Amino acid sequence: MNVRAPAGLKTSGRALWKAVTSDFDLAEHERRLLVEACRCADQLDELAAISAAEGSMGPDGRVHPAVIEARQQRLTLARLVASLRVPDDGDVRPQRRGAARGFYGGMDGS
């Protein structure tokens, strides 16, 4: 099922959206995760362009803020994609849904 991409996505975001939605039917909460992952992908492109234009070091000799933010965006993107549990081409694992992590009762187990 190919669901129309949200407005505002750019090249990488649209590509990620299409790749996932063309093969998987997502619940609403999964679509929200995917939207944020697509936005991260687009943001990474913008940060890469800034780093390419201005260099990886700032004028003060420190790492350019775009490089630092790109690292954070990569971590966020990886976590969002992992949360979707979308298998890659060679992965035969089905999507698994998370469940509650355990019983939240009182100290005495009730």
Task: Give the tens place of pLDDT for each residue, 6-41.
Answer: 999 999 999 999 999 998 899 999 999 999 999 999
What pTM, to 2 d.p., does this model score?
0.77
51 in Cβ contact with 83 (< 8 Å): no
- Give the residue among 43, 48, 51, 31 at the shortest CA–CA distance from 76: 43
Query: What is the pLDDT at residue 109?
Result: 54
Measured distance CA(42)–CA(9) in Å, rounded = 7
Chain length of the chain = 110
SS (H, E, C) the chain: CCCCCCCCCCHHHHHHHHHHHCCCCCCHHHHHHHHHHHHHHHHHHHHHHHHHHHCCECCCCCECHHHHHHHHHHHHHHHHHHHHCCCCCCCCCCCCCCCCCCCCCCCCCC
CA atoms within 13 Å, Cβ hemisphere of 76: 18
Residue 43's pLDDT band (cuts 50, 70, 90): very high
